[in-house]
Every structure is written in structure tokens, then in C-alpha cells.
Amino acid sequence: MSRPVLASVDLHALRQNLQVVRRAAPGSRVWSVVKANAYGHGLDRVWRGLETTDGFAMLNLEEAILLRERGWKGPILLLEGFFHADELPLFDKYRLTTTVHSNWQLKALQDAQLHAPLDVYLKINSGMNRLGFLPERAQTLWQQLRGLKNVGDMTLMSHFAEAEKPDGIERAMTQILQATEGLACSRSLANSAATLWHPQSHGDWVRPGIILYGASPSGQWQDIATAGLKPVMTLSSEIIGVQTLKAGDRVGYGGRYTARGEQRIGIVATGYADGYPRHAPDGTPVLVDGVRTGTVGTVSMDMLAVDLTPCPQAGIGTPVELWGREIKIDDVAAAAGTVGYELMCALAPRVPVVTV
């Protein structure tokens, strides 16, 4: 028998989440963001669940080529563009849309020998201060790109740093609008949070990421609880051992947890080598046989312990949901001091994944 830890990916939920996005941003086309191997869900596994999207957005050229080889003929956007000028022939061959965020990319595009112009997203830095040109350069750069023979359709792009806040995009939107006044151009500004909560930013294309997978861009599930989004990934396992503690007994490495009285705990075949956060504190939520309880003690490489007090019927072989439909990944992440994004992307290659 194989180890019982298992991840499942719900393609029906994925399709439903895409429809939620379309309802939230009517009139905008959708870039489904599938970077980081579709946020840990497996690009090759899930892309067909998103095949009604208008385009796919990602980082890795290899993943873009995979989509083309699987038969996707629609737009593909590389969110950080090409990393080296010698990648441009592949962008040309596979007809990929490139982001341009740096002067060297402008020069590389100008000098490249291409069979046909590439569509370009001009990235403006509106306060994130990672990639992109200063807003005051937008007009000049737009005209410069427009004059290059290797540039086809163009779109203005930015990325909000604080879109999860009620007033989080006001300053950035003001900068963008002022800098591009009079510029007739397509725009792609809205990430997941802006797609849900800032309709004034939607423009021609929205770029949902985390919400496609049923988690909150704010890191708080309650912020999206009524949006109609469904968790796509479930991480599950089973109890493989039971211990009965007496008062004063400690659990796990370092003895972090101490029993206050007699207590049954279950040992679950999941640990940080599977992608579960090692720093999850006592009480991190978990579902045992349909009953919500919490972890106890330090998470080990291959195992963790859970309190069986609320579920005295649980024993060897009892099913456990670490996150998924009932235990929201945002709640696990919040308990562990991180975000759902990280937990999704941290799912270990050794964990078998099935689609449902």
C-alpha cells in the first residue's frame, strides 16, 4: 500500500471560479494566470479546466511552449517578458506576447530578426517598485515601441501593490491616468484583488491568479466567502497512529505541546516534506472524520499530530483533510503566518495528485 497522503484538483471548481471572474469583470477579457506551475496545481493537469479563458499568463517560456504543444492556440502572455535576447526567436516561433519592463528589452526588440511582429505589454511601475518604467515615461515609450517594426498590438500594463485594501489602488490609478492622458491604448491593470473589488481598474484585460484556485488575495477567506469561489486543491491523508497522553506528556520535536490531562492524539501521514508548513502552531485547523480540530506539537518531515478530543471515534485509517473544501487553505496559511499562495506552490512533488 502506498502512503495515504494525496492531493486532488477539482476542475469543476476551477471552471466555476473562472465564471465568477467573468461575472465580476463583465466586458473585460481574462488572462488566466498559471505561473508557478498553475500555482502548484500542475499546468499540464489544469489548463483544460481553463480552456474557455481568453488567454494564459505565466512566467516560464518552457510552460508557454508546453501549452502550445498541447494545442492551445490563443494568446499567451509572459508576465516578465523575455529574460535574454536569444529567447526572442522562440517568442517568434510560438507567437507569444511579451511584457517589456526594461530599457534592454526595448533594445533587444529593436535589434531582433523576427518573422512577424510580437504583441507587447508595456509595463508601468505604479508603486510596486519591482519591474516597470516610471509613469512619466509612458507616453514616450509608447511612441518608441509603436515605431518598431518588431512590435504588433500593444497594451499598457501595471500591477497594484495594495489592491486588497479598499483604497489601495487610488494613488496608482491616479498616476496611471495622469501619465497616459490622451493615449488611446488597451489596458491590463487588475490582478485578483482588483478584479474582485475595484471595477474602475478592469479595463480591457483582467489578470486573475489566486482567485481562480479558490483562495483569497487578502489571505482572509471571509473576504471572498460570498463571492462564489470554490477551493480547487485538497490535501488529504489518514491517521496512521494513535497515542493516549496523560497530563504532562509532551508531543513532537522540542516538546512544544504539553497535555493538560488525559488526551488522545492522532498521528497523520503528512509533514513539511509534503508541503505542509513546519511552522504551523498548535491549533492550526484540520478536519478529522468530518470534525474540525487542530494540530498539536511541531510538524515533522513526514508526520504531524492532531487533537482527537472532538472526534473520539477517530482511529487508524480515519480520513483527514489538511486543507480543501472544508478547511480553507487561507485559514491554514493564516495560522502559520503565511499566505495560501505559498502553501499551494509548496506542494511537494512526492505527493500524488489526482483530478476530480
For 93, phi then psi, to 5°, come to -60, -45
Which of 35, 39, 272, 328 is an active site residue?
A: 35
- How long a stretch of residues is the chain? 356
Binding residues for substrate are: 130, 301
What is the phi-psi region of residue 132: left when phi exceeds 0, alpha when psi lies from -120 to 50, beta otherwise?
left
Q: Quick check: is 35 catalytic? A: yes
DSSP 287-339: EETTEEEEEES---SS-EEEE-TT-TT--TT-EEEEESSSS-HHHHHHHTTS-
CA-closest candidate to residue 209, choices 35, 72, 345, 344:
35
Q: Are β-strands 205-206 and 29-33 bridged in parallel, bridged antiparallel, or unpaired?
A: parallel
The three-point CA angle 306-274-35 to 5° equals 125
**How far is the C-alpha of 143 from the C-alpha of 114, rounded, in Å?**
20
Binding residues are: 130, 301
CB atoms within 10 A of CB 351: 17
DSSP state at residue 281? P
Bridge partners of 268? Answer: 239, 304
Which of 94, 253, 272, 341 is an active site residue?
A: 253
**How far is the C-alpha of 177 from the C-alpha of 163, rounded, in Å?**
17
Residue with grid cell 522562440, as numbered in its chain: 90
- Residues noted as catalytic: 35, 253
